[in-house]
Structure 1
Amino acid sequence: MKFVAKVLLAGTIVASLAGCAKDGELDLSSGVGISVTRTGCPTVAIPDGTGDITLFNTAGSQDANAIDVVASITNVRPTCNSGGEKIYSQASFEVQARRNDVQGAKTVTLPYFTTVVQGGSAVVAKRVGQVTLQFADGQSKASATAQAASYVDGNSARLPAEIVQKITKKRKPGDPDAALDPMADPEVRAAVVRSSFEMLIGFQLTEEQLRYNVTR
């Protein structure tokens, strides 16, 4: 499945002009380079179509009148420790749910996944967890918190020294490559993509549930 993710935390490149110039100015005396700050932490995102789930009270029915419980993932709060050979990324999130029939107490357990993707397409790890919601008698809403975590290989998430040199190389006005964007270099672009990781969080949906989310 190809995910289209809603990015919650950028973890790629933060670029700024190098040298002694003030903000917004170019230091033409010493040349211009790009200073790269890159932690290696994965971006955290919810793939489109997986951030909510709908349960029905009638098997095989997806009619609006048969909706039992609707839940969504929200308030994702990522943290990351980028030191060491293994980069540890964690995200806490909240699941908020509502139900139509408020009679009696009700317990609902929902599965969710944590997937680590490298280079935008290669799945390197996946884990499935569960979050349990408790509806009190007479209450239509419930919420619960859950966590997702993953490890990323530090060496794979860091740019090679020669690529960093190409990006940060200072260029003086008049140089043939002074106006060239380093990211226009296929080798640089491929290295940045290859060393970029995402931690994706969403409900572990059945094919029918995913189809419902996409087509409703």
Structure 2
Amino acid sequence: MLAGGCAKSGDISLDGGVGITAVRSACPVVGVPVGTGDITLFDPATSRDASAIDVTAVLTNVRGTCDDTGAEVVSNVTFDVRARRTRTDGPRDVTLPYFISIVRGGTQVVAKRVGAVSVHFEPGQALASTSGQASANVNRAAATLPDSVREQLTRKRKAGDQDAAIDPLATPEVRQAVLAASFEALVGFQLTQDQLRYNAQR
């Protein structure tokens, strides 16, 4: 679902090969859903010919900061938009819609907000960029693993113990609890169904 990603303090990692250390925080993982990181505008709007491409833009440099000290975990996301236009005669402002959504357990959208960024082109300028930002909240209690699940994940297991070779995440209850407490803050262009199809079929 995400385009890109890296290890961070919210990951669950192995501990010395035996057992798991849960170092996850309540902060959501930040990313861009596949297929929503770029947008193409056509003129005329109904055409899909390469010769009709008017403006293209990509959403990049997505970065997140998080404050998880309160009852509500506040996630702030910043990003850049880089745009190119085909016709460069005269100045032009192009407004592009974007969204930020909070996804729980990899599939459940629990919140979504739509905004817009404007890109300004000077006369004769084919390339332009701007920055945007969005924020979303996650309930800290919902993003916190129950103590019983955390104990199963972090309990030290000695080699030779009966359950030493058993991955606690293989237990359905544990796996479901981890999923339920896992959130993502996803940012992308707010595309129409037709634009989504165009991105998928290119």
Does structure 1 retain, via aligned residues, the 8 Å contact 2:12–2:20?
no
Q: Where do 5+ consecutive residues of structure 1 fail to align?
A: 18-24, 27-31
Equivalent residue number for residue 91 of structure 1? 77
Pairing 1:1-216 to 2, within 5 Å after superposition: 4-8=1-5, 10=7, 12-17=10-15, 32-216=18-202
Cα displacement string for residues 16-55 of structure 1 (whole angstroms, at most 9, x for unaligned residues): 42xxxxxxx67xxxxx543221111111111111110001
Does structure 2 retain, via aligned residues, the 8 Å contact 1:9–1:78?
no
Q: Where do 5+ consecutive residues of structure 2 fail to align?
A: none
Aligned-residue sequence identity (percent) comes to: 50
The whole-number CA distance in structure 2 between the counterparts of 1:59 and 1:164 is 52
- SS class of match (1:65): helix
- SS class of match (1:192): helix
Counterpart AA for 2:127: K
The whole-number CA distance in structure 2 between the counterparts of 1:43 and 1:185 is 23
The whole-number CA distance in structure 1 between the counterparts of 2:178 and 2:126 is 47
Cα displacement string for residues 36-94 of structure 1 (whole angstroms, at most 9, x for unaligned residues): 21111111111111110001111310100001100010011111112121101111000
Provide the TM-score with structure 1 as the length reference: 0.88
The whole-number CA distance in structure 2 between the counterparts of 1:16 and 1:176 is 18
Counterpart AA for 2:103: V
The whole-number CA distance in structure 2 between the counterparts of 1:35 and 1:121 is 25
Which of the two has higher C-alpha Rg? 1
Please report how far the alpha carbon of residue 173 of structure 1 lies from its aligned counterpart in structure 2 after TM superposition.
2.5
How many residue pairs get aligned? The number is 201
Please report the RMSD computed on the Cα atoms of aligned residues, expressed in angstroms.
Answer: 1.5
Counterpart AA for 2:37: G
